[in-house]
Structure 1
Amino acid sequence: MSTADEINTLLVANFGTDPLAIRPEMSLRQLRLDSLALEELRLLIEDRMGVDLDDVELTSRDTVEALVDAVHRKAAA
C-alpha cells in the first residue's frame, strides 16, 4: 500500500472522511481537520508507518499531497 493510500485509509477510518473527497490538492482544512485532529493524525501516521514526524509542522492549510511528501521525506531519511 502506498503512503497516500495509508494516509487516506487513516483519514477515512479515524476521521470519517469521505474517501471520494480526498484529493492531493485538498487542504486538510477542507477535509475538516482542526489542530487537534492534525495532531491525532500525526500520531496515527507515526504508529502505522514507523516514521518520526515530531519536527514536521502540519497546519490545516497543508494539502494532502504536502502531507504525503513530508511522510516520504521522513521515511527516506
Structure 2
Amino acid sequence: MVSQLLVQRFGVAAARIGDETPLAALGLDSLALEELRLLIEDRLDIDLETVELTPRDTVGRLVAVVGQEAVA
C-alpha cells in the first residue's frame, strides 16, 4: 500500500522504491511526508500522529512503522 501511494500520489517510479531507499531520494520532503502520513491514516484507519518520520528515513522504516501501528 505504501508503494502504491508513492507511485499514484507522488509520481515515484515503482522501480525506484526499495526498502533501503531514503524517502528524500524519492523526492519526499517534510510536507510530502505529512501528506503521505495522512493518506496512510485514512486508508488503514490507524493513527500515526506520534510517529516521527523524516526525509532521511527509508521506505523500509516507513513500512515497518505502518505495520506496527496496523496491528496495535
TM-score, L = length of structure 2:
0.97
User: Could you list the runs of 5+ residues in structure 1 that have no partner in the other structure?
Assistant: 1-5
Residue 45 of structure 1 corresponds to which residue in structure 2? 40
Residue 54 of structure 2 corresponds to which residue in structure 1? 59
TM-score, L = length of structure 1:
0.91
Partner AA of 1:21 in structure 2: R
Runs of 4 or more off by more than 2 Å in structure 1? none
Determine what percentage of the aligned residue pairs are the same residue.
56
Size of the alignment, in residue pairs? 72
* Cα deviation digits, residues 23-60 of structure 1 (max 9, x gap): 01000001110010000000000011111000000100
User: Could you list the runs of 5+ residues in structure 2 that have no partner in the other structure?
Assistant: none
